[in-house]
Amino acid sequence: MSTIQAIPLNWYILLSAVLFVIGVLGVLYRRNAIIIFMSVELMLNAVNLLLTAFSSYRGDSAGQVFVFFIMAVAAAEVAVGLAILIVIYRNTSSTDINFLNKLKW
Amino acid sequence: MMIKYIFYFLAFVSVFSALMVVVSKNPVHCVLYLIMCFFSIAGHYILLNAQFLAAVHVIVYAGAIMVLFLFVIMLLNLNTQSEPHKSTWLKFAAAITSGLLLVILVGTLKGSETMVMPLGNPNAGLIKNLGITLFKDFLLPFEVSSILFLVAMVGAVMLGKKEIK
């Protein structure tokens, strides 16, 4: 028996919704910029899981190629983002996002 | 029946470790929990018959991205003492906001029908089919993503330099 028959698609949608919401919670809840970055990665992974589930249930490999591209973009984003974070740390000696309030209001 | 229990287990592990990423105090523990979450998501990919994606996920996320995170955390010497805290009021507001988002996302599912029959090729996640799709229909985006990597590399090196003259 394959997974497709055993597990309804709705469960995967629910699971990725929960993972996405935990990512949103992390972005709102924490003040450390690195943890916020990790929460963004969590959200990207929730979307990846949902795309893969839909692609497998439809039997269309285009969705999985899309996940592949999302992974490529995430890798590039992390490289640039962590470089920005190091520059921030060099200027403020902390990764607290509350020191970055020059653009507020 | 067995697959159902594997799904339950993997879903529990991924949700639990994702929650621990958000609530644990030490940034290094956050990274380790995130790696655990990524491995359980790779297990989900295998359950969905997307083996190639599972392998790439482990290599790219757990292998490359998380090592980068760990490296930066150890470079900046972050630990529990240097961890900034939000006020209780703001934490409460964050929990309420994300809870409402979850209610909305689950609410949209209500009344939807469950898909029982696979529509197309069940082997869509195997390397052969994925490679054919990638290099036939998505050749141009594949090449463009190499330019993206080049730009990201140049940007990271430029930002990381001590000072730009």
pLDDT tens-digit series, residues B121-137: 667 778 888 888 889 98
Listed by number, the residues of chain B in 98-137 with a beta carbon closer than 8 Å to a beta carbon of chain A are 98-99, 101-102, 105-106, 109, 112, 114-116, 118-122, 124-125, 129-130, 132-134, 137
In the beta sheet, which residues pair with residue A32? Answer: A96
Nearest chain A residue to B43, by CA:
A49
The CATH class that applies to domain A3-93 reads: mainly alpha
Q: Is the dihedral of CA B69, B71, B76, B81 positive or negative?
A: positive
The pLDDT confidence band at residue B96, using thresholds 50, 70 and 90, is: very high
Q: How confident is the model at residue B45 (pLDDT cuts 50, 70, 90)?
A: very high
Look at residue A16 and tell me whether its pLDDT is greater than 90. yes
Q: State yes or no: pLDDT of A39 exceeds 80.
A: yes
Q: A with B: how many residue pairs have Cβ under 8 Å apart?
A: 243
Looking at residue A1, its pLDDT comes to: 46
Residue B115 above 60 pLDDT?
A: no
The predicted structure's pLDDT at residue B1 = 76
Q: How far is CA A90 from the centre of its chain?
A: 26
For CA atoms A34, B145, B61, B97, give the dihedral sign: positive
Q: Scanning every residue of chain B, which has its alpha carbon at the shortest distance from the alpha carbon of A99?
A: B84
* Average pLDDT of span A7-21: 90
Between residues A17 and B80, the one the model is more confident about: A17
CB A60 within 8 A of CB B124: yes
**Is residue A18 scored above 80 in pLDDT?**
yes
- The pair of three-digit structure tokens given for residue B154, joined into one six-digit string: 């140049």
Backbone angles phi, psi at B146, to 5 degrees: -70, -35
Note the pLDDT tens digit of each residue in B1-21. Answer: 788 899 999 999 999 999 999
Return phi, psi of residue A32, to 5°: -80, 125
Q: Which of A36, A38, A73 to mutate to test the interface with B (most CBs of B within 10 A)?
A: A38
pLDDT tier for residue A26 given thresholds of 50, 70 and 90: very high
Q: Which residues of B touch A6 (CB under 8 A)?
A: 1, 3-4, 7
Per-residue pLDDT reduced to its tens digit, A45-100: 999 999 999 888 888 888 889 999 999 999 999 999 999 888 888 888 887 887 77
Q: How far is it, in rounded angstroms, from Cα A65 to Cα B84?
A: 39
Sign of the C-alpha dihedral, residues B96, B97, B98, B103?
A: positive
- For chain B, the structural domain boundaries read 1-82, 121-165
Give, rounded to a whole angstrom, the gap between the first and last alpha carbons of chain A.
Answer: 57
In this complex, do A98 and B84 lie within 8 Å of one another by their Cβ atoms? yes
The answer, yes or no, to whether residue A17 has pLDDT greater than 90, is yes
Contacting residues of A for B106, CB less than 8 Å apart: 14, 17
Does B92 or B86 have the greater pLDDT score? Answer: B92
Close Cβ partners of B48 (under 8 Å, ≥ 6 residues apart): A3, A12, A52, A53, A56, B125
Taking 90 as the threshold, does the pLDDT of residue B154 lie above it? Answer: yes
Query: Quick one: what percent of chain B has pLDDT higher than 70?
Result: 89
Pick the CATH number of B1-82 from 3.40.50.360, 1.10.3720.10, 3.40.640.10, 1.20.120.1200: 1.20.120.1200
- Within 8 A by CB and 6+ apart from A61, the residues are A55, B121, B124, B125, B129, B130, B132, B133
- In A, which residues are within 8 Å of B3 by CB distance? 1, 3, 6-7
User: Which of B102, B119, B160 is the closest to A83 by Cβ?
Assistant: B160
What pTM did the predictor assign?
Answer: 0.89
Residue of B nearest to A20 (CA): B102
Tokens linked to A11: 């469960």
A4 vs A14, which has greater pLDDT? A14
Comparing alpha-carbon positions, the chain B residue that sits nearest to A79 is B156
* Residues B85, A31 contacting (CB under 8 angstroms): yes
- Higher pLDDT residue, A43 or B161? A43
Quote the tokens at residue A92: 């403020």
Length of chain B in residues, anyone?
165
Q: Give CA–CA dist B111/B89, Å, rounded.
A: 36
Question: Is the separation of the CB atoms in A19 and B98 below 8 Å?
Answer: no
